[in-house]
């Protein structure tokens, strides 16, 4: 009888120990953030994807990616932001460095051969950024001018092929370098999407120095890049984007990030609606 009591007591102690251990494990998971997701963004694009001096991140792409991640089951503290430069986006997905990429990633037929896309989630247009008062007012004015864009981007090549064949292309590693070159006079113009250019022009240190020419040289359908063949993730992201538009979170993100630059954005595109 006494043996039974000891056994029963031991069983209770063992059960309590297991319970405490389990609870401790849950707290540890919560404290550490549990599961993580790696998301590719740009680190040097004001208004879209920018790493702040304090280590935080801001921008429209960041807001979209954060919203999507939440719909996939991840809180903001479970996101690991990974810098993905234009020239390395396809490789980053193929290597599995990130789950998805939201980095001003225009959907093109060529890119769709290597990765899959969800979206689009924003329709931007290629434009030119020049110094205020510049005599560059149309695309053909770029002939014999020094035109900067980022290595791996299609923007400068588009201009040279279709508008200004004599433009002198100056590819650099990032948009910050191009803007610095424009400020110093090392280049005459910077070309990329109007959303990106507006973000740079609105920065405090550049206010009043630059202007958008206002050309719609192309349609840039921003999509979220996913590893080729991962249709399940594409479907989940598309549903998240549709929800973001429906609950007006998309409108808020546009206003928060582009409002100060007076950027005239297009309405939210429909999923799968690619404007040529």
Q: Over the chain (276 residues), what is each successive 10-residue block's mean pLDDT?
A: 45 40 35 77 93 96 98 97 95 98 95 98 94 94 95 83 93 90 96 89 85 88 98 98 98 87 86 95
pLDDT of res. 3: 42
Handedness of CA 106, 111, 114, 117 (dihedral sign): positive
Which pLDDT belongs to residue 32?
Answer: 38
Question: Tokens at residue 12, please?
Answer: 């209770």
- Supply 181's token pair: 């070159």
- ∠4-9-12 over CA atoms, to 5°? 130
Instruction: State the Cα–Cα distance between residues 175 and 199, nearest whole angstrom.
Output: 11
Q: How far apart are CA 45 and CA 61, in angstroms?
A: 10
Report pLDDT for 208. Answer: 85
| Residue with the two structure tokens 């910050």 | 176
| DSSP run (H or E) holding 121 | strand 115-131
Q: Say which residues have a Cβ less than 8 Å from residue 60's Cβ, sequence separation at least 6.
A: 47, 48, 122, 195, 253, 254, 257, 258
The predicted pLDDT at position 125 comes to: 93
Q: Give me the pLDDT at residue 21, please.
A: 37
What is the pTM assigned to this prediction?
0.76
Residue-level pLDDT at 65: 98
Listed in order, strand segments (DSSP E) in 146-230 are 146-150, 168-172, 189-193, 210-212, 219-227
Rounded Cα distance, 115 and 95, in Å: 12
The domains of the chain, with CATH numbers, are 37-123+221-261 (3.40.190.10), 125-212 (3.40.190.10)
pLDDT given at position 207: 81
Residue 76, φ and ψ in degrees, nearest 5: -55, -35
């Amino acid at each position: 009888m006494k043996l039974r009591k000891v056994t029963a007591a031991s069983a209770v102690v063992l059960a309590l120990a297991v319970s405490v251990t389990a609870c401790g494990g849950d707290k540890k998971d919560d404290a550490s953030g549990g599961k993580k997701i790696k998301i590719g963004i740009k680190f040097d694009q004001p208004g879209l994807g920018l790493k702040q001096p304090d280590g935080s991140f801001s921008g429209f792409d960041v807001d979209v990616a954060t919203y999507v991640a939440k719909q996939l089951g991840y809180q903001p503290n479970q996101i690991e932001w990974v810098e993905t430069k234009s020239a390395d986006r396809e490789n980053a997905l193929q290597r599995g460095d990130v789950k998805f990429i939201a980095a001003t990633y225009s959907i093109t037929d060529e890119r769709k051969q290597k990765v899959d896309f969800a979206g689009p989630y924003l329709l931007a247009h290629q434009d030119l950024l020049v110094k205020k008062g510049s005599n560059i007012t149309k695309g053909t004015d770029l002939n014999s001018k020094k035109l900067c864009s980022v290595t791996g981007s299609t923007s400068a090549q588009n201009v040279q092929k279709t508008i200004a064949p004599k433009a002198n292309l100056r590819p650099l590693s990032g948009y910050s370098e191009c803007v610095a070159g424009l400020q110093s006079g090392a280049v005459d113009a910077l070309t990329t999407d109007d959303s990106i250019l507006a973000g740079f022009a609105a920065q405090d240190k550049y206010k009043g120095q630059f202007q958008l020419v206002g050309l719609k040289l192309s349609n840039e359908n921003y999509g979220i890049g996913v590893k080729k063949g991962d249709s399940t993730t594409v479907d989940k992201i598309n549903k998240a984007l549709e929800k973001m538009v429906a609950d007006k979170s998309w409108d808020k993100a546009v206003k928060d990030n582009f409002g100060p630059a007076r950027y005239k954005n297009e309405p939210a595109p429909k999923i799968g609606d690619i404007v040529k």
